[in-house]
């Protein structure tokens, strides 16, 4: 029972750690653009449609391919077609501002739910937004000292994570008596893995930095 619970927690930890390593690589090495079209008076400002479009057009200008196809409109009340899109990975704190961006479409308004990801919040223009509470934040990094959120606009094959041969994720359990345990009092469970996240083409990935409204 305890081991099962521990294994479950470790599995969650392993994948979150994997995500965090990729997140930190993107935050360290991606090209950045600040939101500048908001009205907050900070730099970067809050998220706006003009800022989103500027990044999308920059990616298009760099020949970055979009990841998802159109979702065609259907005769369903309250829905709207969704454009082909780059994917955006952002912190969940940004969602309230995202809701206020012109042209935002929540996933519940997509004409079809077949290809909606569990972590997807909605779309703006040619971008579809994924959220996570462990998204990237630069604390106190705006001109006025507020937190800055990294929104990674990603084209197809813009980055990759490469697992090292022979060092893919391993769950390791050691029973009583292992290690320095002559009185059979300790058991351990853990994991290890090696991975290398890298941007493959820096022109196909842009970090749109935003503060909150």
**Interacting residue ranges for another protein, rule: CB under 8 A:** 20-21, 24-25, 27-38, 41, 43-45, 139-145, 148, 179-180, 186, 198-199, 202-203, 209
Least spacing, CB of residue 127 vs another protein, in Å: 18
Nearer to another protein, 67 or 137 (CB): 137
DSSP bridge pairs for 127: 86, 124
Least spacing, CB of residue 100 vs another protein, in Å: 18
Nearer to another protein, 46 or 120 (CB): 46
Least spacing, CB of residue 198 vs another protein, in Å: 7
Least spacing, CB of residue 140 vs another protein, in Å: 6
Sign, Cα dihedral of 116, 121, 124, 126: negative
Nearer to another protein, 63 or 74 (CB): 63
> Which of 116, 115, 123, 79 shows the shortest CA–CA distance to 99?
123
- Find the farthest-apart pair of alpha carbons in the chain and give their distance in angstroms, rounded: 71
DSSP letters spanning 157-183:
TSEEEEEPTT-S-EEEEE-TT-SS-TT
Least spacing, CB of residue 137 vs another protein, in Å: 11
Contact yes or no for 106/66 (Cβ under 8 A) = no
- Give the number of C-alpha atoms closer than 13 A to the C-alpha of residue 74, restricted to the C-beta side: 8
Nearer to another protein, 120 or 150 (CB): 150
Least spacing, CB of residue 61 vs another protein, in Å: 10
Tokens 């997140």 correspond to 23
Contact yes or no for 210/151 (Cβ under 8 A) = yes
Burial of 10 from C-beta contacts in 10 A (0-12 / 13-18 / 19+) = middle
Nearer to another protein, 82 or 205 (CB): 205
Nearer to another protein, 70 or 100 (CB): 100
Would you tell me how many other CB atoms lie within 10 Å of the CB of residue 61? 9
């Amino acid at each position: 029972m305890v081991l099962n619970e521990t294994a479950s927690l470790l599995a969650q930890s392993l994948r979150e750690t994997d995500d965090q390593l990729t997140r930190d690589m993107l935050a360290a090495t991606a090209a950045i653009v600040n939101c500048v079209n908001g009205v907050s008076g900070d730099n970067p400002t809050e998220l706006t449609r003009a800022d989103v479009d500027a990044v999308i057009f920059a990616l298009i200008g760099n020949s970055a391919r979009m990841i998802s196809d159109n979702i065609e409109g259907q005769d369903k009340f309250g829905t709207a077609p969704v454009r082909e899109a780059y994917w955006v990975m952002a912190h969940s704190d940004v969602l309230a501002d995202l809701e206020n961006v012109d042209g935002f479409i929540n996933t519940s308004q997509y004409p079809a739910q077949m290809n909606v990801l569990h972590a997807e919040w909605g779309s703006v223009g040619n971008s579809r937004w994924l959220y996570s509470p462990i998204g990237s934040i630069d604390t106190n990094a705006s001109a006025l000292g507020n937190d800055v959120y990294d929104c990674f606009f990603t084209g197809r094959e813009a980055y990759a994570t490469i697992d090292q041969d022979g060092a893919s994720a391993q769950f390791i359990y050691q029973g009583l008596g292992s290690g320095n345990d002559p009185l059979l009092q300790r058991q351990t469970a853990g994991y290890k893995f090696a991975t290398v996240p890298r941007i493959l083409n820096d022109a196909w990935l842009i970090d749109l930095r935003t503060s909150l409204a």
